[in-house]
Amino acid sequence: MIEIQGVSKSYHGDVKAVDNIDLSIDAGRIFGFLGPNGAGKTTTIKMITGILSPDSGDIVLNGKSIIKDPFAAKSCFGLVPDDPNIFPRLRGVEYLRFLGDVYKVPSDIRAERIKKLASRLALTDALGDRIQSYSHGMRQKLMIIGALIHDPDIWILDEPMTGLDPQSSYELKTMMREHADAGNTVFFSTHVLEVAERICDELAIIDRGHIRFSGTLAEMRELSRADDSLEAMFLRLVSEGSAASEEGQA
């Protein structure tokens, strides 16, 4: 479970990238965090995972505050970041062993997990190659395997389908479903409504740092007019938000 309580963040004391948001993400569900480019998704994910400190508020992961108890909170989750371009000179398997060391995963268990995950995501043959020779999608898959190497309860994924081929994208969605169905928390961001519509049980829409909607897909459908598509509803929520903030500035 992830609880986000009154969290705000500004960059350089300027415009608020995230403005006083509250969200509660239950275990056993796939939660989609939806919003246009620049809405504040990555900033929120960086605060959930302790990469950035919020200006105010708290974030609690499985009962542990990322601010007050960062070490315990960090052991609960695996993060797939939005930018998979790291450690280009390492070989894929070296990167995974390094993460296994960081999380103190015993080497036999680690080897078993790498084997299983690499086979599911069709990355086995590339594990001996240097990351700099990988395509964007292959780096993305390596990040996913690395995030899951310590078998975390909470999965946090920032735009995880970007660059994945259809087979891997399908495989990842299946893995997300299995993990949630086993009673764990899966939180992912996307700017693609279709992706959210297909796989999430609950979602929140963020726009210019504000949560415009939070609830189940069914609730969102109920809110949208009978003849309205979910896409029209999404665009309306986001444009109403921008009209309101323009009025605020006038």
Question: Is residue 49 close enough to count as binding Mg ion by CB under 5 A?
Answer: no
Q: Which is nearer to Mg ion, 42 or 168 (CB)?
A: 42
- Please identify which residue in 41, 110, 113, 212 interacts with ligand ADP, judged by CB under 6 A: 41
User: SS3 for 185?
Assistant: strand
Contacts of 72 (CB under 8 A, 6+ apart): 64
- The span from the CA of 240 to the CA of 211, in Å, is 12
Q: Give the bridge partners for 25, in sequence order.
A: 2
Question: Is residue 43 close enough to count as binding ligand ADP by CB under 6 A?
Answer: yes
User: Is the Cα dihedral 13, 16, 22, 27 positive or negative?
Assistant: negative
Candidates 20-28, 41-49, 92-100, 194-202: pick the segment binding Mg ion (CB under 5 A). Answer: 41-49
- Please identify which residue in 35, 81, 92, 241 interacts with ligand ADP, judged by CB under 6 A: 35
Q: Which is nearer to ligand ADP, 35 or 84 (CB)?
A: 35
- Please identify which residue in 42, 140, 185, 214 interacts with ligand ADP, judged by CB under 6 A: 42
Q: Which is nearer to ligand ADP, 149 or 164 (CB)?
A: 164
Report, in Å, the least distance between residue 2 CB and ligand ADP.
17
**Residues for the chain: how many in total?**
250
- Please identify which residue in 7, 42, 110, 145 interacts with Mg ion, judged by CB under 5 A: 42
Q: At what angle do helices 136-147 and 166-181 cross, to 10 degrees?
A: 20
User: SS3 for 29?
Assistant: coil
DSSP symbol at 54: -
Return the one option of Mg ion, ligand ADP, none that residue 241 interacts with (CB less than 5 to 8 A, by type): none
**Helix ranges restricted to H, 84-186:** 92-102, 107-120, 136-147, 166-181
Dig out the tokens for 160 from the structure. Answer: 């995880």
51: left (phi over 0), alpha (psi -120 to 50) or beta: alpha
Candidates 12-20, 75-83, 130-138, 195-203: pick the segment binding Mg ion (CB under 5 A). Answer: 75-83
Return the one option of ligand ADP, Mg ion, none that residue 38 interacts with (CB less than 5 to 8 A, by type): ligand ADP
Other Cβ atoms closer than 10 A to 236: 15
Q: Are 33 and 206 in contact (CB under 8 A)?
A: yes
Candidates 82-90, 145-153, 178-186, 210-218: pick the segment binding Mg ion (CB under 5 A). Answer: 82-90
Report, in Å, the least distance between residue 14 CB and ligand ADP.
8
Q: Which is nearer to ligand ADP, 40 or 146 (CB)?
A: 40
- Please identify which residue in 40, 54, 152, 160 interacts with ligand ADP, judged by CB under 6 A: 40
- The span from the CA of 204 to the CA of 207, in Å, is 10
Q: Which residues would be at the binding site for Mg ion (CB under 5 A)? A: 41-42, 82
**Which residues of this chain interact with ligand ADP, rule CB under 6 A?**
11, 17, 35, 37-43
